[in-house]
Amino acid sequence: MKSFAVIGLGRFGTSLSTTLYEMGHEVLCIDENPDHIKAIEGSVTHAIQADASDPAVLSELGIRNFDTVVVSIGAELETAILITLLCKEQGCRCIVAKAATELHAKILSKIGADKVVLPEKAMGVRVAHSLAASNVLDFTELAPGYSMAEIDCPEAWQNKTLMQLNLRARFGITVIAIRHGRDMIASPCADDLVQAGDVLIVVGKNDRLTKLESKHLQD
């Protein structure tokens, strides 16, 4: 079990907090709005109404003792910067900050955030890929230039082994798992057969995945 402190209970912060709690982790939520605190009580470990931009408050809450602190105040850049700096000064081990724009993300990274997320951008990318190719069920960026996609097995790939498909050589992608109904084949071997209804979880460079979606999945 890990411990998380989430500062800011907008839609992103609330969803993140409740999901982490449901996964069995310790979650402390901090927000100035009493309605936000009331709405999440009982769905996380602790929910406290407080001003996280006050260093005394962060110190009293023992913010430095949490495994990860999430600053989810993406729309208020000045407040997000201040809280990120305060968390850094108090010795927090890992600070994740939410950003509204690429510029905000660069600033937060420079002032000490260990990781910056742009949830709206990420969701937009995922939806765009799912709309552009009907076979693409999900799309997640793993690192700059590389992503993971879930692909509903095209008819042309059905009843063939991974060796016969030769996806790495043909398209530059690697199959890391095959979901067959409720079963999951992790690290599939060359002899594993791909069947109708299977979902292939693949990783590769973004340009290779985009080319695959736009051309080969439409054939």
What tokens does 70 get?
Answer: 């999430």
Contact by Cβ (8 Å): 189, 177: no
Q: Could you tell me if 15 and 43 are in contact, meaning their C-beta atoms sit under 8 angstroms apart?
A: no
Among the listed residues 96, 128, 131, the one whose alpha carbon sits nearest the alpha carbon of residue 112: 96
Q: What is the pLDDT, as a whole number, of residue 131?
A: 47
pLDDT of residue 125: 53
User: What is residue 214's predicted lDDT score, i.e. its pLDDT?
Assistant: 57
Residue 75 in tokens: 């729309």
- Predicted local distance difference test score (pLDDT) of residue 217: 56
Q: Are the CB atoms for 77 and 71 separated by under 8 Å?
A: no
pLDDT of residue 191: 94
| Segments of the chain with pLDDT less than 70 | 74-75, 120-139, 141, 143, 213-219
pTM tops 0.75, yes or no: no
Strand partners, 45: none
Dist. CA 187–CA 208, nearest whole Å? 20
pLDDT of residue 71: 95
Confidence at residue 77, expressed as pLDDT on a 0 to 100 scale: 85
Task: List, in sequence order, every beta strand (DSSP E) within the chain.
Answer: 3-7, 26-31, 46-49, 68-71, 95-98, 115-117, 136-143, 146-152, 160-161, 173-180, 183-186, 193-194, 199-205
DSSP state of 187: S
Question: In the prediction, which pLDDT does 17 show?
Answer: 94
Q: Using CA atoms, how far apart are residues 185 and 101, in angstroms rounded to an integer?
A: 38
Q: Give CA angle at 134 (133, 140), nearest 5°.
A: 65
